[in-house]
Structures are given as C-alpha cells and as structure tokens.
Structure 1
Amino acid sequence: MVNVKGKWALITGASRGLGYLSAVFMAKLGCNLVLHSRTEEHCAKVLSEVKSLGVDAYVVTAELSDMEQVDRMCRTIDEKGTKLDIILNNAGLQIAYRKDYLATPASDYDISFRINTTAPMMICYHFLPQMKERGFGRIVNTTSGIDLEPEQAGYSAAKAALNKVTRDLGKNYEGTDVTLSLTDPGWCRTDLGGPKAPNSPESALPGILVGAFIDDKKCGRIFSAQEFTGMTLEEAVARAEKQAGVY
C-alpha cells in the first residue's frame, strides 16, 4: 500500500461534499494538498482544517467549464514548484434531470462534457508527463453508476466518456508505477446527489480513495466505493488489488 505522507495531492471540488471529506482523510495521513474550488473563499474552511492537521496546503481556483482557467490552474501549480503525486478529479456537475427527456437541449451535453470529461482529462494530460518522468503517480477520476436513465443523459454520457478515455489512457501506463483508475462513489447525499440519496457521504470512504493507495501497477479499474464501506483503508486496498483488470 502506498504511503502518502509527504506526497502532494490535487483534489478538485475540495470545498464540500466528497472532495472535502477526501481532503481531510488524506491530511490525516500526512498528505500535502492542493485544494481546488471556483473561489478561494469556498475552500477557506477545508484549508484551515487540513493545515491544523500539520500538512502543507494551498488553494487553486478555476471554473472547470472554462479550459483557459483549467490550464491556468495547472500552470499555477507548476509555478509554485509543486510536484503532484496524486490527483483526485472529484469535481463534477449534474446539469439537470429532464422528465421530458426528448426535449433535452444540446447545451446539457456541451456543459456536462466540458466539466465532467474534458476538464479532468486536461488535468491528466498536463501532469502525466511529470509523473512518468518521476516514476510515480496516482490518478483517480470520479465516475457515476447512472445507467438506463435518459432523464440524465448529458451527465451519464459525460461520465461514460470519462470511463472510456481513462481506461484507454491507462492502458499505456499499465505495469508502471503511474496508475489511472476510476471511482464510483454511489448515490450519496451531497449537493449533487440531493437529500433523497440512500447513502451518506461518509459511506464513500475509504472506497473513493483506494485508487490513490493501490500498489499493483494496474490501470483502468472502476472501484465502486460502496463495496468498501466500513472497511479500514488497509482492508479496502487489499480488496481493490484483488479486483480484476478491465482489459
């Protein structure tokens, strides 16, 4: 299992929900953090909390629908001299639930793909060369298990695309110490999931983070976080490493 103490992790959407919980979880293990949100103010609470746990941390901002802002955020991290070891592309947007799904506007796809597919992949493309050069990296992209629901077509299609490009890209890193995986948190009571979701946000831990700790040089797997609920991190990683690959 990977020891993250002293490593640097970028968590997108770190100001609330699963991103917030992930940041605190990683900080308790000694991992330094780059916390992303749309504004610095949104991350003030989580920044204070993780720093109180004794790790280094700072905030970067970007509207993920704007690729110029995404690129600027990545370059800011470079300019600060931070060498990212771990990326959790957690931020996402559920654009709408369309009861009249045959009237789904094209904008649903455009916005959903920019935030849920293109932005996380631009982050991957930017930092993967550095990870490869240093010989270590863990990227975890957050997906969704939504299926057979045309009411959520823009969101589910964007997440399906993220699955595809993550798996395809991961194939080229199979067998190295740079791994790419996907995590499905399940339907949780977050701002995105809504109050009627059956699972608490806390139930997604440690499952949403196992991809950061696996040490078996395999890529492309989708880890369903709810399958790890109630486990210790060590138990969760051991189970994750037994999961068959997807190729």
Structure 2
Amino acid sequence: MTNVKGKWALITGASRGVGYEIAIFMAQHGCNLVLHSRCISHTERVLEEVKKLGVKAYAVQAELSDINAVNRMLDEIEQNGTHIDILFNDAAVQIAYRTDYYKTPVEDFTQSFMINTIAPAMICYRLIPKMIEKGFGRIINTTSGIKNEPEQAGYSASKAALDKFTKDLGSKLEGTNVMINLTDPGWCRTDLGGPHAPNDVKSCIPGIAVGAFVDDKKSGRLLPAQSFIGMTLEDAVKKAYDME
C-alpha cells in the first residue's frame, strides 16, 4: 500500500461535500494538500482544519469553466515549487434537472463538459508528464453512476466522457507507477446530490480515496466508493486490487 505521508495532493472542489471529505482523510494520513475552489474564501475552513492535522497546505482558486483560470492555477502551483504527486479531480457541476428534456439548452452541455471533462483532462495533461518524470503519480477522477436520465443529459454525458478519457489514457500508463483510475462516490447528500440522496457524504470514505493508496500499477478501473463502506483503508486497498 502506498504511503502518502509527505506527498502533495491537489484536490479540486475541496471546500465542501466529497472534496472536503477527501481533504480531511488525506490530511489524516499525512498528505500535504493544495486545496482548490472557485474562490479562496471558500476553503478557509478546510484549510484551517487540515493544518491542525499537522500537514502543509495552501489554497488556490480557479473557475474551471475558464481554461485560462485553470492554467493560472497550475502556474501558481509550479511557482510555489510544489510537485503534485496525487490528483483528485473531484469538482463537478450539475446544471439543472430538465423535466422537459427535449428543450435542454446547449449551455447544459457546454458548461458540463468544460467543468466535468475538459478541465480535468487539461489538469491531467499538465501534471502527468512531471509524475512520469519523477516515477510516481496517482490520479483519481470522480465519475457518476447516473444512467437513463435524459433529465440530466449534460451532466451524465460529461461524466461518460471523463470515463472514456480516463480509460484511454490509462492504457498508456498501465504497468507504471503513475496510475489513473475512476471513483464514484455514489448518490450522497451534498449540494450537488441534494438532500434526498440515500447516502451520507461520509459513507464515501475510504473508498473515494483508495485510488491514492493502491500500488499495483493498474489504471483505468472504476473504484466505487460505496463498495468500501465500513472498511479499513488497508482492507479497502486489498479489495481494490481485485477490481477491474
């Protein structure tokens, strides 16, 4: 199992929900953190909490629908001298629930793809070559199990595209110590999931982060967080080894 103590992780969407849970969990295991949100002020609480756990951390901001803002964020991380060892592409947007889905506006797709697919892909492209050069890297892209809901077409299509991107890129990393995999938190009670979701957001731990700890050189698999409920991290890692 990978020891993440002293490594640096970038978490997008770290201010709340699943991203917040990832940040706390990784800090508890000694991982230093770069915490992303759309606005620096949004991460004040989680930044204070992870620092109290004894790790180094700082916040960055970027509107993920603006690729120039994404690049500025990555420039800032480089200028700070931070080498990102672990990437959690967790931030996402669900534009609307369209009951009259035949009238879905094009903006549902353009915004969803920009934030949920293109921004994560561009972050991967920027960070993975440096991971390869260093000989270590973990990328965990957050997907969704949503299906058969044209009411959320932009969201579901953008997540399906992220799946395809991850698996295709994973084929080039297979067998190396730079690994890219998918995770699905399940339908959790978050700002995105809504108050009627069946799962508490804390149920996604440890499964949502297990991709950072596996060391079997496999890429492109799906690690559904709800499959690891109640498990220790060590047992979750062992179970992940058997997943394709």
Q: TM-score, normalised by structure 1?
A: 0.98
1:182 corresponds to which letter in structure 2? L
Return the alpha-carbon distance in structure 1 between the equivalents of residues 171 and 27 of structure 2. Answer: 30
State whether residues 222 and 243 of structure 2, in contact with CA within 8 Å, keep that contact through their aligned partners in structure 1: no
**Long gaps (5+) in structure 1:** none
Partner of 2:58: 58
Partner of 2:71: 71
For the aligned residues, what is the CA RMSD? Answer: 0.5
Secondary structure of 1:172's aligned partner:
helix
Is it true that 1:208 corresponds to 2:208 in the alignment? yes
Cα deviation for residue 39 of structure 1 reads: 1.0
Cα deviation for residue 40 of structure 1 reads: 1.0
Matches within 5 A, 1:44-193: 44-193=44-193
1:178-204 per-position Cα deviation (integer Å, ceiling 9, x unaligned): 000000100000000000000000001
Return the alpha-carbon distance in structure 1 between the equivalents of residues 222 and 93 of structure 2. Answer: 19
Return the alpha-carbon distance in structure 2 between the equivalents of residues 141 and 13 of structure 1. Answer: 12
Partner of 1:33: 33
Q: How many residues align?
A: 244
1:16 corresponds to which letter in structure 2? R
Secondary structure of 2:173's aligned partner:
coil
1:76-115 per-position Cα deviation (integer Å, ceiling 9, x unaligned): 1111000111000010000110000001011100000000
Return the alpha-carbon distance in structure 1 between the equivalents of residues 201 and 225 of structure 2. Answer: 11
1:61-89 per-position Cα deviation (integer Å, ceiling 9, x unaligned): 00000000001101111110001110000
2:110 corresponds to which letter in structure 1? D
Cα deviation for residue 145 of structure 1 reads: 0.2
Return the alpha-carbon distance in structure 2 between the equivalents of residues 157 and 68 of structure 1. Answer: 24
Of all paired residues, the percent bearing the same amino acid is 64
Deviation beyond 3 Å, 4+ runs, structure 1:
none
Secondary structure of 2:36's aligned partner:
strand
Return the alpha-carbon distance in structure 2 between the equivalents of residues 92 and 80 of structure 1. Answer: 26
Return the alpha-carbon distance in structure 1 between the equivalents of residues 133 and 56 of structure 2. Answer: 24
Cα deviation for residue 23 of structure 1 reads: 0.4
